[in-house]
Amino acid sequence: MTSKKITIEQVGSSLRRSPDQRKTLIGLGLNKLNKVTTLEDTDSIRGMIKKVNHLVKIVSEE
């Protein structure tokens, strides 16, 4: 059984954001503008994306 994957890209800067939002981006593996990362599609990852949805975009869901 293969797990679902989600690819996200950072489209907003972490400058002038709260420390909590910065740590969330780092937890998602994003720390620079336009960086793309692929993660497993879990509820915790979805919650982190929702927390910083103004800074990231979902590129693809597999």
| Alpha helical stretches, state H, the chain | 19-27, 43-51
Model-level pTM? 0.91
Q: Kindly tell me if the per-residue pLDDT of 18 is higher than 70.
A: yes
Domains detected in the chain? 5-61 (3.30.1390.20)
Residue located via tokens 């927390």: 51
Measured between alpha carbons, how far is 27 from 21 in angstroms, rounded to an integer?
10
pLDDT for residue 2: 67
pLDDT in tens, 44-54: 999 999 999 99
The structure tokens listed for 57 are 């975009």
